[in-house]
Amino acid sequence: MSETSPSALTVLQEHELVLQQEVRRFADEQIRPLVHDADQQAKLPEEALKALFEMGLMGVEIPEELGGAGMEFFSAALVIEELARVDPAVAVVADVQNTLINNILLLKGNDAQKKEWCPRLAENTVGAFALSEADAGSDAFALKARAVADGDDYKISGNKMWITNGIEAGLYIVFANIDPDAGYKGITAFLVPRDAAGLTIGKKEDKLGIRASSTVELILEDVRVPRSAIIGEPGKGYKIAIEALNEGRIGIGAQMVGLAQGALDAAVSYAKERKQFGRSISEFQGVQFALAEMAIEVEAARLMVYNACRLRDGGKPFVQQAAMAKWFTAEVAERTASRAVDLFGGYGFSKDYPVEKFYRDAKIGKIYEGTAFMQLNTVAKNLLK
């Protein structure tokens, strides 16, 4: 999509339009050439990560005095959308950093924690969010990781699973229980640096999609951290996790919108180029209607994400809109990518064209940061309360 989409023109403010254009150009020029090999090798290219930091895309909401870009949550969502239009795997690296890690520090960290970590997160340090475990997914608060007080320190032990950015991270926000008898009210969030003794990276997942984004097991064996590593209050980690994921979901919505737009753009270009029966396939009304339906759905999905962002930035209730946006955008991403593959015919099935990757990448939208069913649970609960 070289033109600004109509929804962007009606909804975005001037500085947001500038950001959108800059990130679009950056993604096209610096990320696009790396996408195919990064996916095949299942490895985030170092130059991509370096460029994300240099562009200021890893500290979008971090205040300028702490080294960040000092923008709003909506800006972070625009960044994620534009990155995902080119590579949803690169987008999720920036998504976890901005909407989970930076967000938790900014909203729940104390001054010392912000001063220590925010400048690094904006400049060169990747963050990872370590909540899930083998037996604690949708039921995340069934987590078994334990943190035991030991003098002025805590010793954390447990195995975390599915940790995005796990390989590249220099900082992990780890959720562990300090008082299992208190159930989920014992869950506490800890800042754990990569070089903490006893922290190791386990199995790296070999995934269907977003392959360049690392997803790993994190093993913690008596990892000693000072009491000052606790974010917020002891026993309030469950609240931190819920609140971060409520916002993070909007980021995943933005990732799905970007993905869908990328697939649609590719399908439009291809339909104009590809000739059958002596003319461009874009001249067939069946193809035109397919493209039109795809565009309508992407537009609706985008507006849901933008609306959730505006509500969040405006300090209004947004949890229902975030859950709806995450659910709907994941549907739209999967459907749009699938139809793009159809429109490419046999070439859509080949790794020489981008749509088969979008199709694989789309599936994650219904899984992480709350499955599609968990979003429906939230929406239904809010409707019926």
Ligand X SMILES: Cc1cc2nc3c(=O)[nH]c(=O)nc-3n(C[C@H](O)[C@H](O)[C@H](O)COP(=O)(O)OP(=O)(O)OC[C@H]3O[C@@H](n4cnc5c(N)ncnc54)[C@H](O)[C@@H]3O)c2cc1C
Residue whose CB is less far from ligand X, 35 or 128: 128
> What is the token pair recorded at 238?
């469950």
- Rounded to a whole number, what is the distance in angstroms from the first to the last CA of the chain? 42
Q: What is the dihedral of CA 266, 271, 273, 278, to 10 degrees?
A: 160
Smallest gap from Cβ 66 to ligand X, in A, equals 23
Q: How far apart are alpha carbons 138 and 232 in whole angstroms?
A: 23
Residues 249-308 binding ligand X (CB under 6 A) are none
How many whole angstroms from its chain centre is CA 380?
Answer: 24
Would you call 47 a catalytic residue per the annotation? no
Plot region of 370 (φ>0 → left; ψ -120 to 50 → alpha; else → beta)? left
Give SS3 for 175.
Answer: strand
- Bridge partners (DSSP) of residue 155 are 148, 224
Amino acid identity of 316? K
Residue nearest to ligand X (CB): 137
Q: For residue 137, state whether it binds ligand X (rule: CB under 6 A).
A: yes
Q: How far apart are alpha carbons 208 and 198 in whole angstroms?
A: 30
- Identify which range of 82-90, 161-169, 193-201, 249-257 contacts ligand X by CB under 6 A: 161-169
Smallest gap from Cβ 366 to ligand X, in A, equals 8
Nearest of 209, 76, 187 to residue 140 by alpha carbon: 187
Smallest gap from Cβ 77 to ligand X, in A, equals 18
Smallest gap from Cβ 42 to ligand X, in A, equals 12
Name which position in 50, 292, 373, 381 contacts ligand X (CB under 6 A).
373
Nearest of 108, 77, 93 to residue 313 by alpha carbon: 77
Helices (H) and strands (E) in the chain, counts: 13, 10
Residue whose CB is less far from ligand X, 85 or 326: 326
Smallest gap from Cβ 162 to ligand X, in A, equals 3
Residue whose CB is less far from ligand X, 215 or 246: 215
Name which position in 163, 178, 229, 287 contacts ligand X (CB under 6 A).
163
Q: CB–CB of 365/255 below 8 Å?
A: yes
Residue whose CB is less far from ligand X, 130 or 271: 130
- Identify which range of 72-80, 196-204, 301-309, 364-372 contacts ligand X by CB under 6 A: 364-372
Give the interface size with ligand X as a residue count (CB under 6 A). Answer: 20
Site string (96-135) toward ligand X, x via CB under 6 A: x--------------------------------xxxx---
Residue whose CB is less far from ligand X, 33 or 170: 170
Q: For residue 177, state whether it binds ligand X (rule: CB under 6 A).
A: no
Residue whose CB is less far from ligand X, 132 or 188: 132
> What is the token pair recorded at 317?
């209730």
Count Cβ atoms below 10 Å from residue 17 Cβ, excluding itself: 15
Smallest gap from Cβ 210 to ligand X, in A, equals 6
Residue whose CB is less far from ligand X, 355 or 374: 374
Amino acid identity of 87? D
Amino acid identity of 285? Q
Nearest of 252, 237, 245 to residue 95 by alpha carbon: 252
* The one catalytic residue among 61, 331, 334, 369: 369
Q: For residue 379, state whether it binds ligand X (rule: CB under 6 A).
A: no
Give SS3 for 352.
Answer: coil
Residue whose CB is less far from ligand X, 20 or 132: 132
Q: What is the dihedral of CA 101, 124, 313, 75, to 10 degrees?
A: -130
Q: CB–CB of 316/351 below 8 Å?
A: no
- Identify which range of 28-36, 75-83, 160-168, 287-295 contacts ligand X by CB under 6 A: 160-168
Give SS3 for 5.
Answer: coil
Site string (209-238) toward ligand X, x via CB under 6 A: ------x-----------------------
Smallest gap from Cβ 129 to ligand X, in A, equals 5
Q: For residue 377, state whether it binds ligand X (rule: CB under 6 A).
A: yes
**Active site residues per annotation:** 369
Interface contacts to ligand X, rule CB under 6 A: 96, 129-132, 137-138, 162-164, 207, 215, 364, 367-369, 371, 373-374, 377
